[in-house]
């Protein structure tokens, strides 16, 4: 009796475990036209932890002759109650022959045991052809334009807005540039006083002041030598104001005779003694040095007939300088914005051409 109960219990347990595995297949749709596709869904319900193997069906193969597998999806798993899970796969199939196809049951393996689904059927139909009016036919349709997609036109739209903004900025900059008229300083040319005339006029003022007879010989010789230094600098082109007596004489000897430079050297030497060594020169010595200075200027002066003109450029005010700088900045910004506007309109035109082709 106990042995019988044990055997029945085992049979019941096996049947219960087997009953928990469920294999369900379905097809949608069951009727298709030649070349259309249908989907076969294979759903297997098993207990968590059980090992499941789906049938080895690969794309581009035939389930049955005439029915081809187009695509096989990956397994999709979802949880159920009582520690069960549902695993499903989808097989996309098609056919190009008109026929009613019998699809055999699909076999799966769960923990080494085979289970099969129910069999399915697929009906493939052809497109009806009017055989009674075979002389009536219609040409193929023209190539249809693709549908309007906002995403394709979004870029050109916003770039067009940017182009309009650039045009507004360019117009504004033009107005600013027109209001800020260019400042052209009026350059004038004036006759320049020749160096020897300027020097002789200064010596005449020294003579009129009668400083050669005064006791302030230091001021007398300072004014006399400064006048000669300025004349030498303008006439011979070297910086005599910053040179010593020896340097001045050395440079003059390269441009004149020795007698002229010797007399000038004596004048500068006397001036240095008076200014720095507190030497007191005689009145006739002062007059002689004055005459030496006049003789040196007359000997080395340029031609009086030479017309010398000086280019005088008036100084600009701070406001005028700022206005000129602002005008320059506006020009640069105007050029940059114009280049950007041209680039944007070229890109938009090209993009529109590609969209409308």
Q: Which of 114-123, 177-186, 243-252 has the highest mean pLDDT?
A: 114-123
Q: What is the mean pLDDT of residues 316-342?
A: 84
Same domain, 182 and 318: yes
Q: What is the spatial distance between Cα 349 and Cα 228, in angstroms, rounded to a whole number?
A: 76
Same domain, 300 and 338: no
Same domain, 352 and 208: no
- pLDDT confidence of residue 260: 66
Specify if 140 maps to a domain.
Answer: no
Who has greater pLDDT, 288 or 134? 288
Helix, strand, coil % over all residues of the chain, rounded to 5: 50, 20, 30
- pLDDT confidence of residue 134: 63
- pLDDT confidence of residue 41: 92
Per-residue pLDDT for 127 more than 50?
yes
Per-residue pLDDT for 332 more than 60?
yes
Distance of CA 10 to the CA centre of its chain: 81
Specify if 159 maps to a domain.
Answer: yes
Per-chain mean pLDDT for the chain? 79
Instruction: Render pLDDT for 8-41 as a digit per residue (tens, 0 to 9).
Output: 555 544 444 444 788 898 998 889 998 899 999 9
Specify if 173 maps to a domain.
Answer: yes
Give the domain range for residue 43.
22-125
- pLDDT confidence of residue 12: 46
Q: What is the mean pLDDT of residues 111-131?
A: 84
Please tell me the least confidently modeled range out of 4-13, 169-178, 254-263.
Answer: 4-13
Rg of the chain over Cα atoms, rounded to whole angstroms, equals 57
- pLDDT confidence of residue 340: 92
Q: What is the mean pLDDT of residues 111-127?
A: 88
334 sits in the region (left: phi over 0; alpha: psi -120 to 50; else beta) called alpha
Structure tokens at 115: 């289970």
Specify if 252 maps to a domain.
Answer: yes
Who has greater pLDDT, 132 or 48? 48
Who has greater pLDDT, 111 or 129? 111
- pLDDT confidence of residue 39: 92
Same domain, 284 and 247: yes
Q: What is the spatial distance between Cα 110 and Cα 63, in angstroms, rounded to a whole number?
A: 22
Instruction: Give 339's pLDDT tier (boundaries 50, 70, 90).
Output: very high
Same domain, 28 and 92: yes
Tell me how many domains the chain contains.
3
Sign of CA dihedral 157, 159, 162, 166: negative
The CATH number of whichever domain residue 107 belongs to comes to: 2.60.40.740
Instruction: Render pLDDT for 238-252 as a digit per residue (tens, 0 to 9).
Output: 888 888 888 888 887
Query: Phi then psi for 203, rounded to 5 degrees?
Result: -70, -35
Instruction: Give 190's pLDDT tier (boundaries 50, 70, 90).
Output: low
Q: What is the spatial distance between Cα 85 and Cα 50, in angstroms, rounded to a whole number?
A: 10
Per-residue pLDDT for 229 more than 70?
yes
**Are 341 and 163 within 8 A, CB to CB?**
yes
Instruction: Render pLDDT for 65-75 as a digit per residue (tens, 0 to 9).
Output: 889 999 998 88
- pLDDT confidence of residue 18: 47
**Are 217 and 277 within 8 A, CB to CB?**
no
Find the farthest-apart pair of alpha carbons in the chain and give their distance in angstroms, rounded.
Answer: 170
Who has greater pLDDT, 74 or 193? 74
Q: What is the mean pLDDT of residues 166-195?
A: 74
Instruction: Give 259's pLDDT tier (boundaries 50, 70, 90).
Output: low
Instruction: List CB contacts of 153: < 8 A, sequence separation 6 or more.
Output: 355
Q: Is the pTM of this model over 0.95?
A: no
Q: How far apart are the first and last CA of the chain?
A: 90
Per-residue pLDDT for 140 more than 80?
no
Specify if 10 maps to a domain.
Answer: no
Kindly state the percentage of the chain with pLDDT values over 70: 79
Residues in the chain: 357
Per-residue pLDDT for 50 more than 60?
yes
Same domain, 82 and 183: no
Query: Phi then psi for 232, rounded to 5 degrees?
Result: -60, -40
296 burial class (0-12, 13-18, 19+ CB within 10 angstroms)?
A: buried
Three-state DSSP state, 95? coil
Per-residue pLDDT for 182 more than 70?
no
**Are 39 and 27 within 8 A, CB to CB?**
yes
Specify if 54 maps to a domain.
Answer: yes
SS3 per residue for 3-27: HHHHHHHHHHHHHHHHHHCEEEEEE
Same domain, 119 and 67: yes
């Amino acid at each position: 009796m106990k042995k019988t109960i044990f055997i029945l219990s085992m049979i019941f347990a096996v049947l219960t475990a087997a009953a928990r595995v469920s294999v369900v297949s379905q097809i949608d749709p069951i009727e298709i036209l030649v070349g259309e596709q249908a989907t076969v869904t294979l759903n297997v319900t098993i207990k968590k932890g059980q090992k499941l193997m789906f049938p080895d069906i690969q794309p581009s193969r035939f389930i049955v002759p005439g029915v081809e597998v187009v695509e096989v999806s990956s397994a999709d798993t979802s949880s159920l109650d009582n520690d069960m899970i549902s695993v499903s796969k989808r097989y996309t199939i098609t056919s190009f022959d008109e026929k009613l196809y019998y699809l055999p049951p699909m076999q799966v393996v769960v923990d080494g045991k085979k289970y099969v689904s129910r069999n399915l059927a697929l009906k493939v139909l052809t497109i009806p052809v009017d055989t009674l009016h075979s002389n009536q036919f219609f040409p193929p349709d023209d190539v249809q334009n693709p549908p309007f997609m906002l995403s394709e036109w979004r870029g050109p739209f916003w770039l067009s807005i940017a182009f309009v903004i650039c045009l507004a900025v360019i117009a504004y900059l033009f107005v600013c540039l027109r209001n800020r008229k260019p400042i052209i300083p009026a350059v004038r040319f004036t006759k320049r006083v020749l160096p020897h005339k300027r020097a002789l006029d200064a010596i005449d003022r020294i003579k009129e002041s009668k400083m050669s007879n005064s006791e302030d010989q230091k001021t007398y010789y300072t004014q006399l030598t400064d006048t000669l230094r300025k004349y030498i600098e303008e006439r011979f082109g070297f910086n005599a104001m910053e040179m010593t007596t020896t340097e001045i004489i050395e440079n003059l000897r390269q441009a004149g005779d020795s007698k002229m430079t010797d007399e000038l050297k004596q004048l500068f030497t006397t001036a240095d003694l008076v200014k720095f060594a507190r030497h007191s020169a005689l009145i006739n010595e002062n007059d002689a040095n004055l005459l030496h200075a006049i003789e040196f200027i007359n000997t080395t002066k340029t031609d009086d007939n030479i017309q010398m003109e000086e280019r005088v450029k008036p100084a600009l005010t701070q406001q005028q300088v700022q206005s000129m700088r602002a005008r320059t900045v506006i020009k640069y910004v105007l050029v940059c914005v114009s280049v950007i506007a041209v680039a944007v309109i070229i890109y938009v035109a090209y993009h529109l051409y590609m969209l409308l082709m």
